[in-house]
Amino acid sequence: MRKTLQKISDTALFALTFFIVVLFIGLLVKFPAVKKEAEIYMVDLGFVLDTRPTLIYPENESLITDTKPIFKWEDFFQTRFLTQGYRMELSKDHSFENVLTEGIYKYAFADTLNSLDGGIYFWRVKAISNLEESRWSLKSCFLLGPSSLRYPKIEVIKPFFDRIYYSDISKISPLSFKWLPPLLDTNCFIYPKEYTLQISSDTEFNDIIYLLSSVENNVYLDATEFFSQNIPKGVASTPFFWRVRSADFFENISEWSDSVIFYLVNSTISTL
């Protein structure tokens, strides 16, 4: 009887020992997996925070008229890693030295509580979590109108004191009038709605021989068609003057550029 009980006791002790060993091995195998998952979590989170939110509205370098726009951006975390929210800043300068509005938002949009004045604005967004913050979104700007801002005086490029030659038996070569597009802010590329070009035979522009509206900052002319009737017979060199101005989408008109002279020279008569 005693031998039987002893055998049962030895068997039970062996089974218990075997169970403990198996359990310990299982824990050893499982622990690296948990550690690996934690490492993957940190790597993924670091990758997400190394990127930046994408802004949706107002679009970059756009024109809007809503004085209380709803700012929108893409939901930054589309994975299992949730963020606490987003930080948004609104400023009238691209360096954000003077921030007009700053707030923390839970979702990927922000309401404007107070009406904004017309003008150029810059805004940016970053995602925030309990660990760290993402990089700021790329710079985005917009023009809120109507605005009292006027484009500055345009700087003309050509023709600029040019001497353009022709002869009695040849046509005048086509002329290209070109100027630099003005900007309301050199860090926000919102261009005028249109330009007006004037060409005159006098410095006061009393005798306008050509007037044109253009959406581009250059104009090509068939010079023979437009100037042949304004060139006196037997004159070696005839001066002409041109200038240009811009208008925005709210009918604000800039001042005229400086008047620039160019010459049509009859090579048959002139030796210069």
What mean pLDDT, rounded, does the chain reach? 82
- Going from the C-alpha of 222 to that of each of 177, 178, 193, 233, the distances in angstroms are 11, 15, 25, 20
The pTM (predicted TM-score) of the whole model is 0.75
Confidence (pLDDT) at 20: 57
**Is 214's pLDDT higher than 80?**
yes
Neighbours of 88 (CB within 10 A): 22
- The residue with greater pLDDT, 30 or 261, is 261
Give residue-wise pLDDT tens across range 52-81.
899 999 999 999 999 999 999 998 765 434
Q: Identify the band that residue 245 occupies on the pLDDT scale cut at 50, 70 and 90.
A: very high
- What is the maximum span of the chain, computed from C-alpha positions, in angstroms? 145
Average pLDDT over residues 188-205: 96
Give residue-wise pLDDT tens across range 80-97.
345 678 999 999 999 999
Average pLDDT over residues 233-254: 93
CA pair distance 152, 256, nearest whole angstrom: 9
The single residue listed with the structure tokens 């756009």 is 62
**Is 163's pLDDT higher than 70?**
yes
Confidence (pLDDT) at 2: 45
Window from 46-50, 54-58, 138-142, 234-238 with minimum mean pLDDT: 46-50
Confidence (pLDDT) at 270: 72
Order of all β-strands in the sheet with 99-105: 62-64, 140-144, 119-128, 85-91, 99-105
Q: Identify the band that residue 267 occupies on the pLDDT scale cut at 50, 70 and 90.
A: confident
Q: What is the 3-state secondary structure (H, E, C) of the chain?
A: CHHHHHHHHHHHHHHHHHHHHHHHHHHHHHHHHHHHHHHHHHHHHHHHHHCCCCEEECCCCEEECCCCCCEEECCCCCCCCCCCEEEEEEECCCCCCCEEEEEEECCCEECCCCCCCCEEEEEEEEEECCCCECCCCCCEEEEECCCCCCCCCCCEEECCCCEEEECCCCCCCCEEEEECCCCCECCECCCCCEEEEEEECCCCCCCEEEEEEECCCEEEECHHHHHHHHCCCCCCEEEEEEEEEEECCCCCECCCCCCEEEEEEECCCCCC
Q: Identify the band that residue 3 occupies on the pLDDT scale cut at 50, 70 and 90.
A: very low
Confidence (pLDDT) at 5: 38
Average pLDDT over residues 23-30: 48
CA pair distance 22, 3, nearest whole angstrom: 29
Look up residue 72 and give its two tokens.
């929108």
Average pLDDT over residues 167-196: 91
